[in-house]
Structure formats: structure tokens, C-alpha cells
Chains A and B, each alone.
Chain A
Amino acid sequence: MRSHRFKSRTLLSLTAALSFLSALAGISSAVEDVLSPEQIDFFESKVRPLLVKRCYECHAGEEDNGGLSLDSREGLRRGGDTGPAIKPGDPEMSLLIEAVRYQNQDLKMPPKNRLPADEVAVLERWIAMGAPDPRTVTANSGPKPTGMSIKDGRTFWSFLPVDDPAPPEVKQADWVRTPIDAFILAELEERGLSPAPPADKRSLIRRVTFDLIGLPPTRDEVDAFLMDDSPVAFQRVVDRLLQSPHYGVRWGRHWLDVARYADSNGLDENLAFGNAWRYRDYVVNAFNNDKPFDRFVIEQLAGDLLSTPTLETRTATGFLVLGAKVLAEPDRDKLTMDTIDEQLDTIGKVFLGMTIGCVRCHDHKFDPLKQTDYYALAAIMKSTQTFGDSMTGVIKHWNEHEFATEEEKIELKRLDAEIAKRNSAASTFKSQATTKLRAAIQAKAAEYLAAATQFAPDAPLTIVQEVAALQELHPRVLHHCRLHLKYNKETPFFSKWHELSRRGDSADAVHSHYKSLFNEVETTLAEKKKADPKSTTLDDPRLEEARSALSDASGFLAIPPKPEFAFDQPTLQEYYRLMEAARLFESSAADAPAVMGVTDGTVLTSLPIHIRGSHLNLGVAVNREFPEVMRSSRVRPIFSNQQSGRLELARWMAHTQHPLTARVYVNRIWRWHFGAGIVRTTENFGRLGDRPTHANLLDWLARYMMENGWSTKQLHRLILRSSVYQMSVLHPNAKAGQEIDPDDRWLWKFRMQRLESEQVRDSILSVSGRLDMSLGGKTVPLRNRQFVFNHTSVDHTKYDSLRRALYLPVIRNNLYTLFEQFDFPDPTMPTGSRHTTVVAPQALLLLNSELVMDSADHFAQRLLRESQDGAMRVRAAYEWAYARPPSPSELLNALSFLASVTAGGRTDASTVEADVQQTAWSLFCQTLIASNEFFYLR
């Protein structure tokens, strides 16, 4: 509404401009020159005190909300974001007056309380007078520049071109196996630190196996590595792991963290993303096939715009659609801009390490990013369609590319009809049951009114139930009936009840009165219907009132809307059965073959700046562009006027000359291997982010990756081959290290890392021999766009699948408990560095959850099958769980624990010996699973 008004204002002023401009200018300069004493007096006695009292709190001095200062003549006339506050001489065209009149719902001032009418009149009169204003102090001149200038930005480390540093010279040269080592060692030597010795082979294979495929090594794999004395033994392990399809399961998951992947929308309306899995499979395959990272970037941002788009490249654009959106937002324009904001924020953090979302409302407070940069990018995204045309009620649907064959379409239509049929079977059953119930209740209307005399309106339902039972009435209906009577004392139909109920024999009196009244209604209506079959009402107001009250579905005989309160058990069970059948049918019904993805919409070559981020407050238009500070070429980018510009944006980001893309990516690879990035803030390479510990190494790695065709696997090989990756977590002189570098920022030893949530869950299943290693496909047990939660809050999502954790549903707003407890990232925002928290509910889960207890049982059964000998079993358990045999004392401790359980652990006298054995071994296995050694990689 505000922007509308704004437009019409502009039009009006255009037409009026020629004739009025000079006149207006005349008035204002005249006022400026000479103010009459009356004018000054009026301002000083009426206007100034009013402004001070009502407006200065937010619009004076340092406070210039909305860019508006009212403490100077100049500030008032220059106005704020929405333009000049006043038009001297014309109150009707003055924003100030519009605001204080409180008629425009989007512009009401003062915000808390409306001005009294006389104060509004003062302002109107003052402006009509030409707004005489004797104040001479100048206002502060508009919004102050914030953040970093573009010029300064070009010298900030992350915007400098990627350098070509030579590996430094070091003293302990024999430690250097790759150039990486030289960069690391040089920093250590400079600080008087020395690197830790190499890790033992068992630790190393456990470390790298979890690192690359997210699972513990098998006993055979450990043995093979121990037997292999060749210098390339470790390389062989690495190659084997990189070729495993489970490499993609682990490293694809890293990318899904960054891509804020989820199987449901979350936020306000939690609809299932039934086709998100296709993007997940795309990512897993991309890692397994070592898709060049530049290509990976381009496909995700603009896979639909390539010269030969394929299903795969369209699937990649699911990246842009996966965000959490306020699907029921009734303000469509707000929704569009909120969605674009989510996309820009994500693109910024994921590829550029920039918090672009901050720039929606104002220039970045710290980084050289301007609002013009934001809306130049927003123009690209506004030319992109993220929503489709269909809806579920008020809930909008995201865009998908469908690729169903004609036959499939026919089948889908049939399925949709079948789902609708089953849903309506449940609702039809409910409405029929309600109709039946209503008829039965209406037949006893007089009995209800009579029974209602027997208890007070606030009597507990238990009392009402007793009364109801005597006449086989519905207790909740009777209860409601009594409350209804309480709220309706005035109309004749109900006042009679109150009158009668005060008498001693109230129940009988009420019953006979209403019984005869209802009989009269019935016979009169029947007679009337004889004359006119269509007639529904009665002429006698007394009878008509009774008839209308009796037939009012929400009247004194209303049936509770909640099925649990309305129906008897058999009816309720049947209703539930039908509902559940419908839900299950829908959950397992095939989806339309489709991928989530964007498509181009109407191409906008420019977009107005949204002042303070509001789509109701538009400023000057800016053309599509890339952020200025990151542009390395002097040639302004040229965008196709046939396309949104996403392809140009993607290609620019994937260019080897881009200062950020490669740096941000290799930094994350480093983070995922070492537990902390070279830049610790993996999503923020701006001024508030951390500086790189090894800036030269970061550039060297970025260049190495680009030189090797943006290959991720090549980078893994190089990193894993380095001495720095193969160091032990223990250092013979740890004390010195602790003192100089307690956080191990300079990598004087390998950092011990706790398993991530998926590794926790998969290794528990793996050691118990239960893990299902199958790959790919749809796993969320919901049909596309089905509600994860409707209003009932019943959680139907199950996590009992034994497939790898990657394939468990990621339900926004209600993550799987194990994920939530073990620091799975918030799937609404890009996360390159997960947290590691230790909270007691984790311990509860490990002690008491079915997953862990069942797995421990399986683990124990595996041991019992493995050997008859206790010591051999303990040995096997240690090797499976920790990739090492127990020490003699550990063996003794374990056996003595087992013995103590079998001796005194019976909880039930009838427990047979075998069960006690099983319980003891199961508790032993659970303890191994819960232990620190299981959870930490050394």
C-alpha cells in the first residue's frame, strides 16, 4: 500500500511539477528569508515543544530512525528514507501529517500512541502556514558511511589475488614430505616448536578410515596395513578408501552441512522435501566421481542454464531451493525477498565466505559490501523462480522440474485420486458418525436440559458423568449444555430454563416444559411441511426460537469438535484406523518423478534498493552486478538479457582469478581433515572472521587445487601424504607445546577429534555388525509435500533404518535425537565447522536408548559366536571397537567386570544362565561403545 501511494505521489508530482515547482520554491525561500514574529511565536510555543515531546526521542541528535531527523529545519525538509517529511504549504501531501493521522497502516507515528487531535491540528496548521522554522542548527548530514571502503577492501587479505608462494626453507628438512609440511614446519620452527612424532599404525588407520569413509576399519584392514611394510602402505590405504563409494557418503555429507541440506522445509510449515534425496545423491556422486569443484559450483548455481542442461545439472540447482522458507507467509512480496535473502546469505557463506545477508538492510558494518552490491545480486535472484505455481491451502510450493512420462502421469493422477479418496473416507466417516450422534442427542434434548439442572456450571466432569450415566446422555455434551445455559440467560427460550431450574422439582419441570415445546415444534413443522415441503422455519417466534436452538450445530447441544471427546471407543478406533490408513498410503505412495530446482522467471536487469530491507520502501534501481570489491577485471560484467544472470554469476565465482572461491573451499577441506581451518571461521573470511594462521599455505593449496583441475581427491592425497597429517596426538615435550600454543593452532601435534554424529551412529551399528551399507535413493518416509507435522504433533518419522546415517531423514524443527545431541548442524544455515559439545543427555542416550542397547546386544552376540573363550572375546571386542588389542590389565578388568555381573546381576530369579551371559557381554559392549576411546580419534 505504501509503495502504491508512493508511486501515485510521484505521478502526481510529475504532472504538477511544472506548474507548482516555482511557486513552491518561492514560498519556501520566502519563509527562509523572513519569518513574522507571529510565525516564530507559533513555532516556538506550539510546534517546537510538540516535536521535542513527541518526536525527538527517535528523530533527533544521534537518533535518526528511518534516516529522519526532526531537530533541524534542514532535517525535516530533507526527510528520511521515504522522502521529505513535509511539503510546506500542503499538509495533505506531507508525510508527517499522513503519519500522525494514523490512517496508513504502514505509517503511523508516534509508534506507540496516537497524537491527540489538537496536536495533529497544530502540525496541519503549521505546514499550511508554510512550515515556518527559525531553527538554524544543521542536522547531521544523512546516514553515516559504515564498514570498509571498497578501496580499503581491495587491500584486505581475503580480497587480494591468490598468491603464488614458494614453500619456505626449514631446518628439520627430513620431516618435509610435501610442500604443505614446509609451510607448517616453518611456522613451528619460528615459534620454537617441534612437530610430534608419527602416529602408530593402528591409530593412523583408524584416523584415516573414519576421516575418509566415516567408519571404523575392520580387523582385516588393520591387519593388512600392519603387515604391509612397504613405503607406500599408507598410500594404498588412502587409495582404497578414496575409491570406496562410502567416501562420497562421508565427504558428500560435509558438503550437505554447507548446503544446509534437509528433507523438510521446517520453519512455519513443515512439508516434506520428498525429492531432496536426488540432490543428496548428486552430491555423493560428485564427490565419488571427483567432479571438478569449479564445475560443481556452476552446476549448483546455474545447472539449468547451461547450453545442454541435463537432469543431473538441474538437480544440482536444488542447492538454491533447499533453504527453509516461510511457506505460509501471506505477504507474497515479503516472501520473495526473504527467500532471495536466504539464497544470497547461503551463496555468500558457502562460496565466498562472506556474510552477504547483513547487507539487506544497510551497507555492511565491517566488510566492503554495499547495499548496491546486495541488490545487484538480488536482481539476479529475483529473475529466478524458486516457487512453483501450486499450493496446499495457503502453503506455497517450491519449484520442481518434473520429468514424468505420460504413463507415469496417468498413474500419478490415479494415485492422487486414491489418496484423496482415502482421506475423504476418513472425513466422511467422521461426519456421518457426527450426524448420527447429533440425531441421537437431539432426540433427547429435553433430557439434556433437565439433567443440566442437576449440577453447577463449574462442576467437574466426573460429577457430570454420573448425572449423564443415569439417562445415558453424552457427558461432554451435557457439560457443554450447562455452560451454554450459563452464557445464555436472556433469550426467552433459555431464560425459561433458568426460571424453572430455581424451583424445587426443577428437573421434572424443565423436562416437561421442553418436551412439550419440542413436540410442538415437531408437529407444527410437520404440518407446515405438508403445505410447503421446502419450508424450514416456523412463523411463531416462540417456536422458531426453539427450533433454531435445537438445530444449531454449535448451540446448546453442540458436539465437541475433538473426536476423542465426541465418539465412543469403537467409532473412534475406526476413525483413527481410516486416518492412519490414509496417512500410510500417502506416505508410501510414489512421488512424481521430479527434482527440486530453480528456473529462470521474468528477467529483471535491475532492482531498486530496498531501504532498510523493506520491500515497501524502494530506492534507486541498481543493475545486475557482482560485488565490486571482488571484481578483478576493470571491464564491467555483461549479463545476457535473456537469462537471469545466474550463469554469469556462477562462472565468475568459479573463475581461477576469483580471490575467494578456491580459498574458501580448500580451507574447508583442511578443516574437515584437521578439525580446525587455516581460517577458523570457515564461513566468514571478512573482517570479523579469523585471519589465516598459514596465509601462504592457504594460497598455495588454492593454487594447487586449481592447477590440478579443481580436483578434490588430488588435494586429499597430497594432504594425507604429508607428515603433518600423520603426526601423533602425543608429543614427547607436550608441556612446551601447551605453554607456547595451548590451542595447537600451529599444529605441533595432531588434534584429537571426537566422532561426529553420523560417525557415532554408524560405528555403533558397524561394530555390532548391523550396518546396512546400501547407497542412494529416497529414504524420507513421506510423500513429497506431505506434512511432517500437521497440527497433531505426532512424530511419525522413524529412525530405525540400519542404513548409513547419511540416509536418515533430516527433519528441520525436529532433528533425530541422536543427531541433535551430538552436534549435527542446524540444517537451515551453512556450517563448515561443527561444534563439539559434551552434555549429559548424550550420556543418557548412550546408557538408555534402544539404538545403543540393541546394538550392544548384537555386538555381544557377535562376540559369543566369535569364540568360547572369554579372553578371546574381549580381545575381539577391543579390536573391533578400538582397532587394537587390550592390554593385560584391561583384559583383567574386563573379565572381572563380566564376572561381577554374572555373579550378582540377576534381576529375575527365573533368568537362565545364557541370559545372564548375554546381559553381561551386552553391558560390556555397551560400555566399550560409550567410552572415550570409542568417541575420540587419536
Chain B
Amino acid sequence: MQLGSLQTRRQLLKTSALGFGHLALTTMLAADEGTGQNELNSSNPLAPKKPHLLSRAKRIIFLFMKGGPSHVDTFDPKPLLTRDSGKPLPFALPRVTFAKQNNLLRSPWKFKQYGESGLPVSSLFPKVAQHVDDMCILRSVHGTNPAHGGALLKLHTGTDQFVRPSLGAWVTYGLGTENQNLPAFVTICPTLAHGGVNNWGAAFLPAHCQGTPIGNASLTAAKARVKHIRNPRISQELQRKQLDFLSQMNRGHMDDVGSTAALEGRLNSFELAYRMQTAMPDVQELANESQMTKRLYGIDDPVTEDFGRQCLLARRFLERGVRFVQVTHSDSEVQWDQHSNLYQGHIKNAAEVDKPIAGLLSDLKTRGLLKDTLVVWGGEFGRTPTAQGTNGRDHNPHGFSMWMAGGGVKGGYAYGATDDYGYYAAVDKMHVHDLHATILHLLGLDHEQLTFRYAGRDFRLTDVAGEVATDILA
């Protein structure tokens, strides 16, 4: 086949056969069956790439809490909020609020200091709190949209107005992947509402950068599968026979019309698909995990089973070289969206994730993966310190908390602050663009250099903004 130097990289990206997956030119690649590792090959856009900068983290897992967990009830204690509960907010509300705001509402949970760092965490997260010394709590995140859809899109793609590549797609575009038989970017049980596919889409980036969804939020993690990964009607041997026949036909066709990159790539894409049919179910088969590991993630407990399974699956993807894994805590009630009944809702939600997340952190640490795996936790916004109704909190994109662990961030460290009541980010404000710039930086990517030319413009995840929060680098 011809891969003439005249062929531009973009054309190659458009036409070549990519698996989840690589340029399937097996003749050019020496593939190691076990890990699917390929020799570095410049013509494979998913081959692992050298990052721009020193990379502190090689892979990333985003623990997404859909609906907006309340920061003032979890990771951002506010004594004045407790003191002044029931009084009006002593400064102006934002120009636009989602719902009507009442007076300040104290947190029903107590905060306690943990670890050597003594960082405070509320009683909602007693198990995650055991890991504070590995965590960097970002208390000044802001800049998402006041509605779920807009905020999800902003957090995942940097814009709430256009269809743009998602964070995971940019990371895949920038770093490629370590395992060519698995997708580079996986999202487990994502929500299809509020932006849906756009939250893991590639937009104008090459198609291989898009996230591969495994199930969706309406399915339990135990039932989540990649589409079309098995043929339920025929045996693998028979399918092998069929593929040999197909390959024979395709070669005959190429004898007639001449070989092109596209035809050759398509021929090989079937071989790759065949290999993926084995690789993917292998990851999802948890039978070989020990009882102890399953207990660590809470898989033995119906309360924590589902999210625990997601977290364990995530670890299995990460250790096999998948670059970006997202897990989503979402249910039919928009999970963390407690406009009312904050108390009951947050207890239930925290109970579902506390143990699995703590388990994941322990497990990553034990396996030596935490040091170069960036763990990011958070929702699309926080919640207001003011009450909605009597016992709920409204959306708050103006200041909220996320946290990171591992992957080269300072442990036992709190970055930034909101005001005395937790309404607005006030100190070392971290806009979503800054968050994105920082995440990319930790992965060794310069957010200003990671660009893609589309419709005549060089696009970036961070648009024309974004500043790396260097204070949090270990």
C-alpha cells in the first residue's frame, strides 16, 4: 500500500482504520498479543505520544457525581454558615439564579479533621476522609452554567454553547493510548440526559478520540456492555471462518481496483474487531478478582455494589493502559440534585460512593498506580449555602469544590477558598478552564499547544483562557 509523504496527516486520520483502536496495518506493526502494545508507529494516531511537558500522571479517572454535590456539606466547612443559619445572605445574589433563594441554611453534618494534614471532611465521607493526605481539595472551582445541561457540557467540553470535543477526547488526541485493543477513552454508565454523547464526544477531533460508552446510567454496571461486542448467534470458530472468507474477498477486490489506505485499513479493521471481542469481555470479567478486593470496593453490599463495580472496572481499564476512564454516579432522580431533602438525599448518595471511592484509592495505592494516575472527583456544580424551600439547596456554579488525588498533585492540601458562606469562589479562583488547563498539565499536555485546526481556526479545550494552578503540583 502507499502511504506517500504527500498524504497529509489529516487525511490519514480521516481515512485510516482505527480500532477503538489503532491503524490496523498489522503488516507494519509488531503487536504483542498480551497487552496489545504496538511498536511506536508515527502513522498510528493512537500510538502513545510523547507529551509536551513532564507528565506527572499517565492516566486519569474522573469520578463524576451527577447533579451537583454540596460543597458546604462535604469538603468546604463554613463556620459562619452554621452561625448565621436562618439569616439572609449578607451580600448580593448572582444576577441569574436557577430558583428562588431563601435564607442561609447550615450544614446538617459535622466536619472533622483527618490525617496528618488535618484537612476537614464532613461526616458524609468518613472513608474517603481516611485518604485526605493523598487528596488535594480544590475549594474555589467556578464557572459552569446554572442549569444541569449547560454545566455538564461546560465541565466536560469547556463550552455550554457549542458542540466541542470533550476533555477525554482531547487527552486521547494528545496522548494516544497504551493498549491498542481497547478504547483509549472509556466512560462507564454515563448519563444520556443533559448533553449526553456530547460529554464524551470527539466533535471535530478525529473519530477515534471519542469516548466509548459502556452501558448508560439506566443500566447497572453489571449489565453494562459495549455495543455489538459479541455475536449471540454463531461460535467464534465459525466467525473466524467467515472472516477468512471476507479477507479473501477483500484481497480479490483490491487486486481489481488497486490497494488504497482506506481499503487496506478496512480489511484490517475486521481483524482488530475480532481481537477486541476478546479483550473487552476480559476486562469486564470480575471473577478473578479476590473476595477481599470485591469487599474493598463494596461489591458485597447492595448499597455500594453498583458504584463499586464501576470503580473496580475503572481500575481494570486503567491498569490495561486505557488513558481516560470516567465513572458516573447517576440515577433516575439526577442523583446529587437535592433541591429539597438535602439531608436524606446526600446521606444516601454519599453512602453509595464513599466506600467504593476509598476502596479505589487504596487499591490504586497498593498496586503502585496512584502515583501516576490522576483521580478527579466532582459534580457539574456545587450547591447554594442558601436554602431552596426549607430543606434543599439550589445549583451553585459560582464556587464549589472538587478534589484530585495521585498523579502528581499535592496531598493533604486545600487550594483556594470560597467566601465566608461558600457562595462565591473568592481566593485563588479556579475557573473550569483553569481546571482543564491544570488537568492537561498534570498529564504533560500544554493546554495552549494542544490545538486542532477546524473551520479555519485552531481550537483548544480552554478556548482563549485557562491558567495552570501551579500551587497544587507536588
Please list the residues of chain A having a beta carbon within 8 angstroms of any beta carbon in chain B: 1, 103, 105-106, 111-114, 266-270, 324, 326, 328-331, 338, 341, 355, 358, 365-366, 394, 458, 460-462, 465, 479-480, 483-484, 486-487, 554, 558, 560-562, 681, 683-684, 686-689, 729-730, 734, 738, 742-743, 752, 754, 789-795, 813-815, 817, 820, 823, 826, 828-829, 835-845, 847-849, 853, 889-890, 893, 897, 900-901, 905, 907, 919, 923-924, 926-928, 930-933, 935-936, 938
B238 x A907 contact (CB < 8 A) = yes
Q: Counting CB contacts under 8 A, is B30 at the interface?
A: no
Q: Counting CB contacts under 8 A, is B172 at the interface?
A: no
B147 x A268 contact (CB < 8 A) = yes
B455 CB contact (under 8 Å) in A484, A684, A926: A684
Contacts of A889 in B (CB 8 A): 252
Q: Counting CB contacts under 8 A, is B351 at the interface?
A: yes
Q: CA of A931 to CA of B263 in the docked complex: distance in angstroms?
A: 10
A106 x B333 contact (CB < 8 A) = no
- Closest Cβ of chain B to A333, distance in Å, is 9
Q: CA of A144 to CA of B438 in the docked complex: distance in angstroms?
A: 31
A926 CB contact (under 8 Å) in B148, B242, B254: B242
- Closest Cβ of chain A to B362, distance in Å, is 15
A754 x B262 contact (CB < 8 A) = yes
Contacts of B21 in A (CB 8 A): 839-841
Given known contacts A338-B161, A932-B250, A839 and B18 CB-to-CB distance under 8 angstroms: yes
B429 CB contact (under 8 Å) in A112, A358, A893, A932: A112
B344 CB contact (under 8 Å) in A465, A561, A841: A561
Q: Counting CB contacts under 8 A, is B42 at the interface?
A: no
Contacts of B278 in A (CB 8 A): none
For window 123-171 of B, CB contacts with A under 8 Å fall at 123, 126-127, 145-150, 152-153, 160-163
Contacts of B26 in A (CB 8 A): none
Q: 29 A-B contacts, Cβ less than 8 Å apart? A: A105-B424, A114-B427, A268-B149, A268-B160, A270-B193, A270-B196, A324-B163, A330-B146, A394-B98, A460-B303, A462-B300, A462-B302, A688-B457, A791-B333, A792-B217, A793-B217, A813-B198, A814-B192, A838-B18, A841-B228, A843-B272, A844-B273, A845-B228, A847-B273, A889-B252, A927-B242, A931-B253, A932-B249, A938-B257
Contacts of A928 in B (CB 8 A): 249
The digit string for B190-222, where 1 denotes a CB below 8 A from any CB of A, is 011111111000010011100010001110000
B92 x A927 contact (CB < 8 A) = no
B123 x A487 contact (CB < 8 A) = yes
**A728: nearest chain-B partner, CB-CB:** B257
B19 CB contact (under 8 Å) in A341, A794, A823, A840: A840
Please list the residues of chain B having a beta carbon within 8 angstroms of any beta carbon in chain A: 2, 4, 6-7, 11, 14-21, 24, 91-92, 94-98, 108-110, 123, 126-127, 145-150, 152-153, 160-163, 191-198, 203, 206-208, 212, 216-218, 227-235, 238-239, 241-242, 245-246, 248-250, 252-254, 257-258, 260, 262-263, 265-267, 269-270, 272-274, 276-277, 298, 300-304, 330-334, 341, 343-345, 347-348, 351, 355, 391, 398, 424, 426-429, 455-457
**B212: nearest chain-A partner, CB-CB:** A841
Given known contacts A461-B302, A813-B198, A845-B228, A838 and B456 CB-to-CB distance under 8 angstroms: no
B242 x A840 contact (CB < 8 A) = no
Contacts of A835 in B (CB 8 A): 14, 207
Q: CA of A266 to CA of B194 in the docked complex: distance in angstroms?
A: 8
B428 x A330 contact (CB < 8 A) = no
Q: CA of A487 to CA of B262 in the docked complex: distance in angstroms?
A: 62
Given known contacts A561-B341, A844-B229, A730 and B258 CB-to-CB distance under 8 angstroms: yes
B334 x A791 contact (CB < 8 A) = yes
**B347: nearest chain-A partner, CB-CB:** A483
A742 x B228 contact (CB < 8 A) = no
Q: CA of A113 to CA of B97 in the docked complex: distance in angstroms?
A: 23
Interface centre among A554, A754, A837 (most CB of B within 10 A): A837
Given known contacts A752-B257, A839-B18, A815 and B197 CB-to-CB distance under 8 angstroms: yes
**B122: nearest chain-A partner, CB-CB:** A487
B227 x A817 contact (CB < 8 A) = yes
Contacts of A828 in B (CB 8 A): 162-163
A848 x B230 contact (CB < 8 A) = yes
Contacts of A930 in B (CB 8 A): 246, 270
B456 x A847 contact (CB < 8 A) = no
Q: CA of A681 to CA of B457 in the docked complex: distance in angstroms?
A: 13
Contacts of A848 in B (CB 8 A): 228-232
A792 x B269 contact (CB < 8 A) = no
A729 CB contact (under 8 Å) in B18, B233, B257, B424: B257
Q: CA of A268 to CA of B391 in the docked complex: distance in angstroms?
A: 27
Given A730-B258, A839-B18, A843-B269; 5 other pairs, CB 8 A cutoff: A355-B456, A839-B20, A839-B207, A926-B242, A930-B246
- Closest Cβ of chain B to A103, distance in Å, is 7
Q: CA of A563 to CA of B232 in the docked complex: distance in angstroms?
A: 33
- Closest Cβ of chain A to B280, distance in Å, is 10
B193 CB contact (under 8 Å) in A114, A791, A823: A791
A837 x B245 contact (CB < 8 A) = no
B147 CB contact (under 8 Å) in A330, A820, A923: A330
Interface centre among B341, B348, B456 (most CB of A within 10 A): B456
Contacts of A841 in B (CB 8 A): 20-21, 212, 227-228, 273
Interface centre among B303, B341, B428 (most CB of A within 10 A): B303
Q: CA of A547 to CA of B356 in the docked complex: distance in angstroms?
A: 37
A844 CB contact (under 8 Å) in B15, B197, B277, B298: B277
B95 x A106 contact (CB < 8 A) = yes
A893 x B245 contact (CB < 8 A) = yes
Contacts of A460 in B (CB 8 A): 298, 300-304
**B199: nearest chain-A partner, CB-CB:** A813
Contacts of A394 in B (CB 8 A): 98, 147
Given known contacts A268-B149, A460-B303, A847-B270, A838 and B258 CB-to-CB distance under 8 angstroms: no
Given known contacts A1-B95, A268-B153, A328-B150, A840 and B17 CB-to-CB distance under 8 angstroms: yes
B348 x A462 contact (CB < 8 A) = no
A789 x B276 contact (CB < 8 A) = no
Contacts of B197 in A (CB 8 A): 813-815, 820
A840 x B123 contact (CB < 8 A) = no
Q: CA of A754 to CA of B193 in the docked complex: distance in angstroms?
A: 33
A923 CB contact (under 8 Å) in B242, B277, B347, B424: B242
**A790: nearest chain-B partner, CB-CB:** B193
Contacts of B455 in A (CB 8 A): 355, 683-684, 688
- Closest Cβ of chain A to B178, distance in Å, is 17
Contacts of B212 in A (CB 8 A): 841
- Closest Cβ of chain B to A144, distance in Å, is 16
**B350: nearest chain-A partner, CB-CB:** A483
**B430: nearest chain-A partner, CB-CB:** A112
Interface centre among A326, A465, A683, A729 (most CB of B within 10 A): A326
Contacts of B457 in A (CB 8 A): 355, 358, 365, 688
Contacts of B267 in A (CB 8 A): 932
Q: CA of A509 to CA of B21 in the docked complex: distance in angstroms?
A: 64
Q: CA of A743 to CA of B15 in the docked complex: distance in angstroms?
A: 13
Given known contacts A487-B108, A793-B191, A837 and B428 CB-to-CB distance under 8 angstroms: no
- Closest Cβ of chain A to B139, distance in Å, is 13
Contacts of B149 in A (CB 8 A): 267-269, 326, 328
A793 x B246 contact (CB < 8 A) = no
Contacts of A837 in B (CB 8 A): 14-15, 18, 206-208
A329 CB contact (under 8 Å) in B147, B208, B245: B147
B426 CB contact (under 8 Å) in A113, A479, A792: A113
- Closest Cβ of chain B to A810, distance in Å, is 13
**A852: nearest chain-B partner, CB-CB:** B228
Contacts of B217 in A (CB 8 A): 792-793
A931 x B265 contact (CB < 8 A) = no
A268 x B150 contact (CB < 8 A) = yes
A840 x B18 contact (CB < 8 A) = yes
Given known contacts A793-B192, A844-B227, A890 and B252 CB-to-CB distance under 8 angstroms: yes
Q: CA of A455 to CA of B163 in the docked complex: distance in angstroms?
A: 50
Q: CA of A341 to CA of B273 in the docked complex: distance in angstroms?
A: 42
B270 x A843 contact (CB < 8 A) = yes
